[in-house]
Structures are given as structure tokens and as C-alpha cells.
């Protein structure tokens, strides 16, 4: 599980993982962060790949596409925190 260190919630619950695709043994998805200058963006990519390879046997390529969307995730994060 990959957690946002500031919000202490997993990135799937926060809505950061989008457009998940599994084709054969290859996995790809968009990792949509709240800011393009996220200080842990590279750490997230490494942790995402590690989590996928640890949790699913036989994974081939893992493609994590980084992007950011400030407005959509601010509301998603607030809602996730309020639900917890």
C-alpha cells in the first residue's frame, strides 16, 4: 500500500490512481498528484512499482504516468479525510 505522507491515507482512496490498465502482464496507470511540484513524486513512483510487483506475481512492465490536478484532488482529499 502506498500512503501519502501528509494525509496518512493510501493513494487509491485519495483518488490519485486513475485510468488503470492491465494488458497481458503489463500494468499502467495515471498517478494524479495535487501539485506538479510534489516533493515525494519520485518516491511515489518507486513505491507504486514496488507495491504492484510485490502484490501481483508475474507482472511485466509497470508504467506510472505522473500528472497533477490541483482542483479535483483537493475535494477528493477532504472527502476521504472526512469519511475516515
Residues 28 and 46: their CA atoms lie apart, in Å, by 14
The pTM of the whole model exceeds 0.75: yes
What pLDDT does residue 82 have?
A: 60
pLDDT in tens, the chain (84 residues): 999 998 899 999 999 999 999 999 999 999 999 888 889 999 999 999 999 999 999 999 999 999 988 765 555 555 666 666
Counting every residue written for the chain, the total comes to 84
The secondary structure element, H or E, covering residue 41 is helix 41-55
Residue 37: the pLDDT is 87
Provide the pLDDT for residue 22: 96
Residues contacting residue 21 through CB under 8 Å, at least 6 positions apart: 27, 28, 29
Cell matching residue 32? 494524479
Contact 33, 82 (CB under 8 A): no
The pLDDT of residue 34 is 85
Amino acid at each position: 500500500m502506498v500512503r501519502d505522507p501528509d494525509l496518512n491515507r493510501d493513494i487509491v482512496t485519495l483518488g490519485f490512481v486513475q485510468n488503470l490498465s492491465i494488458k497481458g502482464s503489463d500494468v499502467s496507470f495515471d498517478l494524479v498528484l495535487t501539485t506538479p511540484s510534489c516533493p515525494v513524486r519520485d518516491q511515489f513512483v518507486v513505491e507504486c512499482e514496488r507495491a504492484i510487483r510485490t502484490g501481483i506475481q508475474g507482472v511485466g512492465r509497470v508504467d506510472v504516468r505522473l500528472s497533477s490536478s490541483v482542483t479535483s484532488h483537493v475535494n477528493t482529499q477532504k472527502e476521504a479525510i472526512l469519511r475516515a
